[in-house]
Amino acid sequence: MSADTTPTTDQLAGRATTVLARLGVDLDGAERGNVISRSPINGETLAQLAATTAGDVDTALTTASEAFLLWRSVPAPRRGDLVRRLGELLTEHKTDLATLVTLEAGKIESEALGEVQEMIDICDFAVGLSRQLYGRTMPSERPLHRLSETWHPLGVVGVITAFNFPVAVWAWNTAVALVAGDTVVWKPSEITPLTALACTALLDRAIRDSNAPSAIHTLLQGARDVGERLVDDPRVALVSATGSVRMGRAIGPRVAARFGRSLLELGGNNAVIVSEAADLDLAVRGIVFSAAGTAGQRCTSLRRLIVHRSIAEELVARIADAYRQLPIGSPLAAGTLVGPLVHEAAFRAFEEALEKAQSDGGKIVVGGNRVLAESAPQAYYVEPTIVTMPQQTSVVHDETFAPILYVLTYDTLDDAIELNNAVPQGLSSAIFTTDQREAELFMSAAGSDCGIANVNIGTSGAEIGGAFGGEKETGGGRESGSDSWKGYMRRATNTVNYSSELPLAQGVNFS
């Protein structure tokens, strides 16, 4: 279901300018350049900004390295005060920042607000973390010796983020890195430069309010070449990069070649298993949001539905009926649930995937069409699509960043788990079942091989309290909660001898 409610370019650009002004960014006074912000709502330009030069990158890394020498010695709870202030400002400006997310990334209002809430939540988490950067004390085999570990700030963290979560992923990294005592240099997606300006303005204000060193965070706007400079510069201790598998294949080896650290959050090809013991009402709700939410442009979006053969026909019919009722249109319009794809390239990938799926024997159950093309010729709205597949072919193995749900059937749970695991990516997965044995097996070592394995909930919508990330081609990185903070720090093992003797470990005698 689609509605012709596309705003004009002047309306969108004017709204962006007004919102940015409230956040402390003077867009009218910004230098013009080749970093172009286009709204996926109508495909037209919101603003043009200047790209960061090579000299700017070098200056930023020099000042970030110098600031690190000061920031690392600030007590962690005082570093937490800065992040607390950032959380307060995010709370105060939640609606405005969410509006920018909608304008630049095309998210509907509730999802944009949810993304900003993730930022607020990670600030809360990081403030608590600032008093819990715990090490361990271990028993020493030598008398009157103490064996322990301590955690220290790592250095400059380079953060490279993607368009689909233009603010939350930055906050996941930045809040934790700052509390850990690191400085941050951020290269956002060139698709979403305005949200980056807004986040930086709020953090700059928090830095001033907290009397912290100004250079502990720097924004670098630009294309791939800017990110490559972060990847290759030895002054960047950790590169945290979110994006495609192709991007990760380039970044990982280059950072490793200089013995730096990388934290990679790459592709997802997420599956839900629906058992014959599932609560289908629950399953339908979870599947529809996971597959159609954000127009299928989350790394955790549901792409594969693996359903027991005995209930496949009923379940697919119910999901298809729900799809037909989804309001598609401008994410600024009340009631819209499915907004636009981010740009034309995403639409072309959507078309190509459907053509390949059909050539492989797939059948489109519902969707598959572009809508609103007459009212928004430069924007790309599509119907969320269900395709039944005879088997898991190569197109199903590839991640298409669009609302395509491939349906496969199974006879035994072992078969379903094998299908779940038989793709190169390993981010998110889920099972819907009321059978505890099935649920426990799915979460066991013999079950899902993904970094996220859910029961009776969809693949998307992770909370910040748990570590977020995946295995295999997803990159192995972990961000946000749990003990992900350790990736932003270095560990030292300490042995203290408080005796008057010098016994050696393992009973070695060297007298």
Report the share of the chain in percent with pLDDT over 90.
Answer: 95
Q: Is the pLDDT of residue 2 over 90?
A: no
Q: Is the pLDDT of residue 76 over 90?
A: yes
* For range 44-72, the mean pLDDT: 96
The whole-number pLDDT of residue 6 equals: 77
Q: Give per-residue burial for 281-307: e unless 16+ CB within 10 Å, then b.
A: eebbebbbbbbbbbbbbbbbbbbbbbb
CA distance 124 to 480: 11
> Which tokens go with 356?
């390949």
Q: Is the pLDDT of residue 419 over 90?
A: yes
The whole-number pLDDT of residue 1 equals: 66
Q: How much is the pTM?
A: 0.96
* For range 263-270, the mean pLDDT: 97
**DSSP characters over 379-429:** SBEE--EEEE-SS--HHHHS--SSSEEEEEEESSHHHHHHHHHSSSEESEE
The whole-number pLDDT of residue 4 equals: 58
Report the share of the chain in percent with pLDDT over 70.
Answer: 99
Torsional class of 211: left (φ above 0), alpha (ψ -120 to 50), beta (otherwise): left
- Give the confidence band of 291 by pLDDT, cuts at 50, 70, 90: very high
Residue 315 near residue 284, CB atoms below 8 Å: yes
- Give the confidence band of 28 by pLDDT, cuts at 50, 70, 90: confident
Alpha helices in 325-393 (DSSP H): 344-359
The whole-number pLDDT of residue 405 equals: 98
> Which tokens go with 440?
């426990």
Which residues have a catalytic role annotated?
265
CATH 3.40.309.10 maps onto the chain at: 270-466
* For range 84-106, the mean pLDDT: 98
Q: What is the pLDDT of residues 336-393, one digit of tens each?
A: 999 999 999 999 999 999 999 999 999 999 999 999 999 999 999 999 999 999 999 9
Q: Is the pLDDT of residue 142 over 70?
A: yes
Q: What is the pLDDT of residues 297-317, one digit of tens each?
A: 999 999 999 999 999 999 999
Q: Is the pLDDT of residue 7 over 90?
A: no
Q: Is the pLDDT of residue 500 over 90?
A: yes
- Give the confidence band of 33 by pLDDT, cuts at 50, 70, 90: confident
- Give the confidence band of 3 by pLDDT, cuts at 50, 70, 90: low
What CATH class does 9-266+475-491 carry? alpha beta
Q: How far apart are the first and last CA of the chain?
A: 85
Q: What is the pLDDT of residues 438-488, one digit of tens each?
A: 999 999 999 999 999 999 999 998 899 999 999 999 999 999 999 999 999
Beta-sheet pairing, 156-160 with 236-242? parallel
Closest CA to 452 of 299, 246, 319, 305: 299
* For range 108-114, the mean pLDDT: 98
Exposure of 221 by Cβ count < 10 A (0-12 exposed, 13-18 middle, 19+ buried)?
buried
The whole-number pLDDT of residue 5 equals: 67
- Give the confidence band of 32 by pLDDT, cuts at 50, 70, 90: confident
CATH 3.40.605.10 maps onto the chain at: 9-266+475-491
Q: Is the pLDDT of residue 41 over 90?
A: yes
CA distance 205 to 188: 19
Q: Is the pLDDT of residue 511 over 90?
A: no
Q: What is the pLDDT of residues 207-254, one digit of tens each?
A: 999 999 999 999 999 999 999 999 999 999 999 999 999 999 999 999
Mapped onto helix, strand or coil, the DSSP state of residue 356 is helix
* For range 88-93, the mean pLDDT: 98
* 270-466 carries CATH number 3.30.70.2190: no
Q: Give per-residue burial for 112-136: e unless 16+ CB within 10 Å, then b.
A: bbebbbbbbbbbebbbebbeebeee
